Chains A and B, each alone.
Chain A
Amino acid sequence: MMLVSNDVVGRNGEGAVDRDAAMPEPLRLRIPEPIARPGDKPAFPDLLIDRAGEVRCPPIDVAPEDVVDLGSEMIRVLDIHGEAVGPWAGTLDAEQLRCGLRDMLTVRVFDARMLQAHRQGNTSFYMQSLGEEAVSCAHRRALHPDDMCFPTYRQQGLLITAGYPLVDMINQIYSNSHDPLKGRQLPVMYSSRDNGFFSVSGNLGTQFVQAVGWAMASALSGDTRIASGWIGDGATAEADFHSAMVFASTYHAPVILNIVNNQWAISTFQGFARGDSSTFATRGHGFGIASLRVDGNDYLAVHAVSSWAARRARANHGPTLIEWVTYRVGAHSTSDDPTAYRPKEEPYTWPLGDPIDRLKNHLVRIGEWSEEQHQACIADVESAVRGAAAEAERFGTLRSEHSAPASMFDDVYASMPEHLRRQRQQAGF
């Protein structure tokens, strides 16, 4: 291989028989590059955005082939003035919207507190969801409490919205003596069956097809619960993304398949996984799955479309693939520095804005919220998070108290086999 130019890798003509003038040019590969790297001016020329309220809302029993356009357009409810407009508006009343705002503020404040805890050495690792809070918070409110989500590591909004105690989340993040997962999992890899939150895996994409299996089981059992599977833009390249799609399509599983397109898979921009496909949502078309592309920073749009897909699944009209277009404002994780691969200003030029600001502006615009109420809400949430952190610290942090090490031998199997009993003894427990 030899480097031909900056972004084109060509191959030598070694072994070629005829190298005369008729010889075609050497073959080239395209290596995708984002529009802007550090030092460049951020821009999003490929981001197709429709005006709020302009994309139609089909009936929930629509045939997938009759909504092909919705895979390329962008469903939005909140316009630039903060008004809720168009056929997708009106799924939530003011009290529900205030509740949604509080959910998102809780996630944001919680993330900030845990990043601080990481700097203090109370945990080894953290992953924030700054800028994409609307996706999981609004989606959870559109599901029934006993529906099951199969999340990635960035859907803490699902768990917080479901009402899982913050202190239990922090106990897990601190790996302390009250860690519900007994110090076994990397911080943020929560599990809570009671809150419809499947155990988070670090292996990308595996949960997507498991969600389809759970949904199939629900249908096989004559249940009414549905599943919701989650994957990031980068992980759609994994085989299990396609595995999930083919099973969901074959069996019309009652599942919502969510792609959170937050633009960046660590340092790799979303175009790398997408290739020349027009959007991630259009990936659903070949499978005959209804596929919708949505403004993921629009709380009202996320709720309306999630609710549409949930009703569709529950009424046996099959799966829905949804691309939530959003932006990962923070680093991938506490082990990542995004200024090494994207312009520092890029998060602040993101055309879809901030989900919390947008919902707040809407509530203020319709006379259901004020700056004073907002500040009071933030203070209240901060106090709740501070209280939960203080309570968790009483049970220890990464640097102090943990669950008993002997417990690592538990739960490998339902009952401990002889060879593990011997190894536990060897370990001195």
Chain B
Amino acid sequence: MPRMTIVEAIRDAHAVAMERDERVVVFGQDVGYFGGVFRCTHGLQQRFGKHRCFDTPINESAIVGAAIGMGAYGLRPCVEIQFADYVYPAYDQIVSEAARLRHRSAGDFTAPITIRMPTGGGIFGGQTHSQSPEAIFTHVAGLQTVIPSNPYDAKGLLIAAIEDDDPVIFLEPKRLYNGPFDGHHERPIVPWSAHPLGEVPDGHYTVPLGTARIHRAGDELTVLTYGTMVHVAEVAAAETGIDAEIIDLRSLVPLDLDTIVESVRKTGRCVVAHEATLTSGFGAELCAVVQEQVLWSLEAPIARVAGWDTPYPHAHEWNYFPGPARLGAAMRATMAAP
């Protein structure tokens, strides 16, 4: 089976979707001739032509607004916002328009669009290239929000997103583009070619939206997480010796409640982890659903490990990033409680 990075897997997903359905068009800043600043659309314009993959002016609201108009026409646009940190000018088009178009028109018009954007920190990007804004999308009725942690899921989820009839926010953890980063920034970079999840089948397959993946099976404690933190959790489990069950949610909305409930019922202990800021983060939603569903199975309070409630710093990145030491400490404390 071919081995790919997440960048290559996303590129391949685009190509598969564009090959199968000529309604799929791809555009955004620098995505056409150059192939994207992270190279995720490299080669698409050459292969499919300038009318299927093209560059746009620097205007996020227009990128999403035009995609909505194209979706209403009957195309399936997949657009790139260069960094999640730049999505805010498009927020009105996403929240007030794409998310609600089907409902407000009683199905007369729909927005079958995918909005991709690199998310998360770990690349010394400072506050404008490091944010994790998933919660501002998961809060919005009508949106679906997904975030892969590996090349196999990246390709399968992106094809599923493009083929979906409703808008999908597709977050790409940029620190994972070229290797499974576990938070040990001081260690050599591990490439996807050396990782089993770097194996990506040729051709068409999907990872259905709304399905979580058990990244590591375990009996003592459940870690609910997604994106880069999946790999941080894996190393934290190894370093603490805790037999943790690590659930890679992959899809935040819709959420795979069954997998979460089954795991926490089994382990009785739960830690929630994300890079995004703590307050009103998606972790709060996870804590809420866990206590609603399996409170009487819990043997300890649910712990949250998240980014601090500060802007993402540049020089102090590794004091900010919720790495294996912080996650490991929360896991130990949860094992020790009550």
Give residues in A with beta carbon < 8 Å to B: 148, 150, 180-182, 184-185, 189, 191-193, 198-199, 201, 203, 206, 209-218, 220-221, 227, 239-240, 243-244, 246-247, 250, 410-414, 417-419
With contact pairs A209-B69, A217-B70, A221-B75 given, residues A244 and B254 touching in the complex (Cβ less than 8 Å): no
With contact pairs A213-B68, A412-B141 given, residues A239 and B110 touching in the complex (Cβ less than 8 Å): no
Give the chain B neighbours of A220 by CB distance below 8 A.
25, 51, 70, 75
Give the chain A neighbours of B51 by CB distance below 8 A.
220
* Distance between Cα atoms of A193 and B320 in the complex (Å): 50
With contact pairs A213-B65, A239-B89 given, residues A411 and B70 touching in the complex (Cβ less than 8 Å): no
For residue B103, give the distance in angstroms from its CB to the closest CB of chain A.
Answer: 5
With contact pairs A199-B101, A243-B61 given, residues A182 and B106 touching in the complex (Cβ less than 8 Å): yes
Instruction: Provide the B88-100 mask, 1 if CB < 8 A to any CB of A, else 0.
Output: 0100110011000
Beta-carbon contact of B104 and A184 below 8 Å = yes
Beta-carbon contact of A198 and B109 below 8 Å = yes
Contact of A418 among B57, B104, B105, B254 (CB under 8 A): B254
Beta-carbon contact of B104 and A199 below 8 Å = yes
- The residue in chain A whose Cβ has the minimal distance to the Cβ of B75 is A217
With contact pairs A191-B106, A206-B92 given, residues A240 and B61 touching in the complex (Cβ less than 8 Å): yes
* Distance between Cα atoms of A44 and B278 in the complex (Å): 56
Instruction: Provide the B200-215 mask, 1 if CB < 8 A to any CB of A, else 0.
Output: 0000000000100000
Q: A193-B108, A220-B25 given. 19 additional CB < 8 A pairs? A: A180-B106, A182-B106, A184-B104, A191-B108, A193-B105, A199-B109, A201-B97, A206-B92, A210-B65, A210-B68, A210-B72, A214-B73, A217-B73, A220-B75, A221-B75, A239-B89, A240-B92, A244-B65, A247-B62
Give the chain B neighbours of A192 by CB distance below 8 A.
108
Beta-carbon contact of B96 and A419 below 8 Å = no
* Distance between Cα atoms of A96 and B66 in the complex (Å): 35
Give the chain B neighbours of A246 by CB distance below 8 A.
57, 59, 62
- The residue in chain A whose Cβ has the minimal distance to the Cβ of B166 is A413
B67 interface residue (CB < 8 Å to A): yes
With contact pairs A193-B109, A413-B166 given, residues A198 and B72 touching in the complex (Cβ less than 8 Å): yes
Contact of A203 among B59, B62, B97, B144 (CB under 8 A): B97
Contact of B62 among A201, A215, A244, A417 (CB under 8 A): A244
Interface size class of B (residues with CB under 8 A): 35 or more
Beta-carbon contact of A227 and B62 below 8 Å = no
- The residue in chain B whose Cβ has the minimal distance to the Cβ of A189 is B104
Beta-carbon contact of B59 and A191 below 8 Å = no
- The residue in chain B whose Cβ has the minimal distance to the Cβ of A218 is B73
* Distance between Cα atoms of A199 and B67 in the complex (Å): 15
Contact of B96 among A150, A191, A203, A215 (CB under 8 A): A203
B291 interface residue (CB < 8 Å to A): no
Beta-carbon contact of B102 and A411 below 8 Å = yes
* Distance between Cα atoms of A148 and B102 in the complex (Å): 17
For residue B87, give the distance in angstroms from its CB to the closest CB of chain A.
Answer: 14
- 7 closest Cβ pairs, A-B complex: A213-B69, A213-B66, A209-B65, A243-B62, A217-B73, A210-B69, A214-B69
Give the chain B neighbours of A227 by CB distance below 8 A.
69
With contact pairs A191-B106, A206-B96, A411-B102 given, residues A240 and B70 touching in the complex (Cβ less than 8 Å): no
Beta-carbon contact of A221 and B73 below 8 Å = yes
Beta-carbon contact of A210 and B107 below 8 Å = no
B135 interface residue (CB < 8 Å to A): no
Give the chain A neighbours of B96 by CB distance below 8 A.
201, 203, 206
Contact of B106 among A184, A201, A215, A217 (CB under 8 A): A184
Instruction: Provide the B38-74 mask, 1 if CB < 8 A to any CB of A, else 0.
Output: 0000000000000100001101011001111110111
Beta-carbon contact of B109 and A240 below 8 Å = no
Beta-carbon contact of A413 and B144 below 8 Å = yes
- The residue in chain A whose Cβ has the minimal distance to the Cβ of B96 is A203
* Distance between Cα atoms of A214 and B65 in the complex (Å): 10
Beta-carbon contact of B65 and A413 below 8 Å = no
- The residue in chain A whose Cβ has the minimal distance to the Cβ of B99 is A412
Give the chain A neighbours of B89 by CB distance below 8 A.
239
* Distance between Cα atoms of A419 and B210 in the complex (Å): 11
With contact pairs A206-B92, A217-B75 given, residues A413 and B102 touching in the complex (Cβ less than 8 Å): yes
Give the chain A neighbours of B85 by CB distance below 8 A.
none
Beta-carbon contact of A212 and B66 below 8 Å = yes
Give the chain B neighbours of A181 by CB distance below 8 A.
104-106
Give the chain A neighbours of B102 by CB distance below 8 A.
411-414
Interchain residue pairs with CB less than 8 A apart (28): A148-B73, A180-B108, A184-B103, A189-B104, A191-B105, A199-B105, A210-B72, A211-B69, A212-B66, A213-B67, A213-B73, A216-B70, A217-B25, A217-B73, A217-B74, A218-B73, A240-B92, A240-B93, A243-B59, A243-B65, A247-B66, A411-B106, A411-B107, A412-B103, A413-B144, A414-B102, A418-B257, A419-B257
- The residue in chain A whose Cβ has the minimal distance to the Cβ of B110 is A414
B133 interface residue (CB < 8 Å to A): no
B243 interface residue (CB < 8 Å to A): no
Beta-carbon contact of A247 and B57 below 8 Å = yes
Give the chain B neighbours of A184 by CB distance below 8 A.
103-104, 106
B121 interface residue (CB < 8 Å to A): no
Contact of A191 among B62, B67, B109, B257 (CB under 8 A): B109
Give the chain A neighbours of B61 by CB distance below 8 A.
209, 239-240, 243
With contact pairs A191-B109, A250-B57, A417-B210 given, residues A212 and B97 touching in the complex (Cβ less than 8 Å): no
- The residue in chain A whose Cβ has the minimal distance to the Cβ of B52 is A220
* Distance between Cα atoms of A188 and B53 in the complex (Å): 37
Find the residue from A185, A199, A250, A412 having the highest chain B CB count within 10 A.
Answer: A199
* Distance between Cα atoms of A198 and B66 in the complex (Å): 14
Give the chain A neighbours of B106 by CB distance below 8 A.
180-182, 184, 191, 411
- The residue in chain B whose Cβ has the minimal distance to the Cβ of A185 is B104
* Distance between Cα atoms of A333 and B139 in the complex (Å): 31
- The residue in chain A whose Cβ has the minimal distance to the Cβ of B22 is A221
* Distance between Cα atoms of A401 and B65 in the complex (Å): 36
Beta-carbon contact of A210 and B97 below 8 Å = yes
For residue B148, give the distance in angstroms from its CB to the closest CB of chain A.
Answer: 19
Beta-carbon contact of B92 and A203 below 8 Å = yes
Give the chain A neighbours of B57 by CB distance below 8 A.
246-247, 250
Give the chain B neighbours of A209 by CB distance below 8 A.
61-62, 65-66, 69, 93
Beta-carbon contact of A414 and B165 below 8 Å = yes
Contact of A412 among B67, B92, B142 (CB under 8 A): B142
